[in-house]
Amino acid sequence: MNRRIEEDLASTCSQRRLAKKLKVNRKTVVRKFRLMADLAEASFHEANSKCARASVIEFDDLETAEHTKCKPLSVSIAVEQGTRRILGIEVSRMPASGMLVKKARKYGRRIDDRRDGRRRLFAKIQNLVDPFVEIKSDQNPHYPEIVKEFFPLARHYRYLGKRGSLGGQGELKKTKWDPLFSINHTCAKMRADINRLIRKAWCTTENPADLHRHLMLFANYHNKNLPPAFSTG
């Protein structure tokens, strides 16, 4: 049952639907989900530590929400270019923006933890990449500072963001050549395979800690099921 829960939760299925399929109580699924996520995180870090250091990486932030769009979350992700091996993931809280600012006031002041989230991510992947790594990202103005802090010898290439396509949940871009294809393709797979990240869906995240667990479960499953030439285990 544990392996079935791990595989299905990394393949779009929700916890409620999984409980119905397995004919067990939802609390059982939650307990086993948290157990398998913790084991997956340990396996994820162990497998990455055994791989050769990445020479080219891509990173970006994916946005989702906690219960309501008025309480957004940011997911910082780093992947190895070409192989699409996920190197690290961190979840951070962020305040609402745009037309949601006024509506979000009823939930009180919300801290912006994105900078610290990126710092946690880069601290964790520092030993997984070459000191002279080539780093690619979009033109977010906050990225150069964090790259310089953790990878002073790296070459940082920044690319103008492109319009998203419907086929990739807005993550894949409408362009013949995408310099950030590895990170955008990985984000598109996460949108498709993690039910709580699908746009315009009923499933939402109630607890950021469980979102992080779900992401770790997916990342371990994703890395283990890369094409044979790229597999980490």
118-167 pLDDT, tens digit per residue, is 999 999 999 999 999 999 999 999 999 999 999 999 999 999 876 545 45
Taking only the tens place, the pLDDT of each residue in 96-125 is 999 999 999 999 999 999 999 999 999 999
Is the pLDDT assigned to residue 171 strictly greater than 90? Answer: no
How far does Cα 204 stand from its chain's mean position? 15
Report d(CA 174, CA 167) in Å as an integer: 10
Phi, psi torsion values for 182, nearest 5 degrees: -60, -45
Q: Quickly list H helices, 50-150.
A: 101-104, 114-125, 143-150
The model's confidence at residue 19, banded by pLDDT at 50, 70 and 90, is very high
Contacts of the segment 147-155: beta carbons below 8 A, 24+ positions apart: 147/122, 149/119, 149/122, 150/119, 150/122, 150/123, 150/126, 151/122, 151/126
Q: Which pLDDT belongs to residue 199? A: 80
Q: Which pLDDT belongs to residue 187? A: 92
Is the pLDDT assigned to residue 177 strictly greater than 80? Answer: no
By C-alpha distance, which of 210, 206, 190, 198 is closest to 31? Answer: 210
Q: Work out the mean pLDDT of the chain and round it to a whole number.
A: 90
If one compares 27 and 163, the residue with the highest pLDDT of the two is 27
Q: Of all helices (H) and strands (E), which one includes residue 69?
A: strand 68-80
